[in-house]
Amino acid sequence: MVEVLQKWFNTLDCIKFLTPYFGFRTIQYKVKQMLVFPASERNKDAIINVLKHYLPDPKNEKKFFVLEVASGSGQHVSCFASKFPNCQWQPSEVSARCLHSINAYIESLGVKNVLPPMKIDVALPVSQWKDNTLITSSVDMMLCINMIHIAPWQCTIGLFNSAGVLLNSGGVLVTYGPYAIDGQLTPQSNVHFDRSLRQENIEYGVRDVRDLKKLAKDNKMTLEKVYDMPANNKTLIFRK
Ligand SMILES: C[S@@+](CC[C@H](N)C(=O)[O-])C[C@H]1O[C@@H](n2cnc3c(N)ncnc32)[C@H](O)[C@@H]1O
């Protein structure tokens, strides 16, 4: 039902639609829990258009396992899960507030192929992730949207190291955000954005694809493709 609803309405419209069925108080409580990141609403369709090249179509019988790192509000994972029903989605977050939000999206939208979110601090090695249920080389795709530049570099190192451990052979790490290429950051709006990130936190900043390729190599991955995305972002595909 969620898939049909999401085809016609956005998430908030879905909630309005669901209220008569689940009761206003329940839905009101869930809505309070459900963070809404405007960027996630804007970029989700463009990201789906890339993901569809790397995830099985609904007719395929193989079930893919996708681990999302830094899932944020849960808007992406709940939307992607309904678009790609033959994938098992595992969201994760470090922030308790976001973990509540992800749970609220999963429950309110009733998506069945999303596991409860795991608390993961991606800066830590996989061996130190609490309550980790993931098995080495068991993950088909790892997805990380808009975290790399808004987190310390140690998180990016951790992301690539964990992909090196968890992805199966042939699995992909998909990252989305703004990136510099070989020292060149364009356009000027991204230069301003980078400056404002570094002013907010000296450990943040737009990263260079060159540095990510080194981390990929250290973890037996290679950069397979770069997609130009709306609003001067890119999606990077690293394959193990
Ligand atoms: C800009 S938000 C992006 C969220 C979501 N992926 C999206 O696109 O809407 C960045 C997210 O990274 C998460 N994050 C920051 N440091 C992290 C860490 N060490 N481990 C896991 N997640 C982290 C934050 O909690 C935040 O939700």
Taken in order of first residue, the domains within the chain and their CATH numbers are 2-239 (3.40.50.150)
Q: Evaluate: CB of 94 within 6 angstroms of ligand 1.
A: yes
CA of 71 to the centre of ligand 1 (A): 6
**Peptide bond before 187: cis, by omega within 30 degrees of 0?**
yes
Q: Locate all alpha helices (DSSP H) within the chain, ordered by sequence.
A: 2-8, 11-22, 24-33, 38-51, 75-83, 96-109, 153-166, 188-200, 209-218
Whole-Å CA distances, 166 to 37, 41, 181, 206: 28, 28, 27, 25
Give yes or no for residue 151 CB within 6 A of ligand 1.
yes
Q: What is the pLDDT of residue 7?
A: 44
Report the residue among 92, 94, 148 best suited for mutation to probe ligand 1: largest number of ligand atoms under 8 A from its CB.
94
Residue 19, SS3? helix
Give the pLDDT confidence score for residue 59 in this predicted structure. 73
Q: What is the pLDDT of residue 28?
A: 57
Q: Over the stretch 209-218, which tens digit does the pLDDT of each residue have?
A: 999 999 999 9
Q: State pTM to two decimals.
A: 0.89
Q: Say how many Å lie between the CA of residue 58 and the centre of ligand 1.
A: 29
pLDDT for res 2: 41
**In the prediction, which pLDDT does 131 show?**
79
Determine which residue's CA is closest to atom 27 belonging to ligand 1: 72
Which parts of the chain have pLDDT scores under 50? Answer: 1-9
Q: How far apart are CA 179 and CA 164, in angstroms?
A: 21
Ligand 1 lined by 47 (C-beta under 6 Å): no
**Distance from the CA of 37 to the center of ligand 1, in angstroms?**
12
Closest atom, ligand 1, to C-alpha of 154: 19
Residue with tokens 């033959």: 86
Q: Give ∠ CA 88-56-121 in degrees, rounded to 5.
A: 40
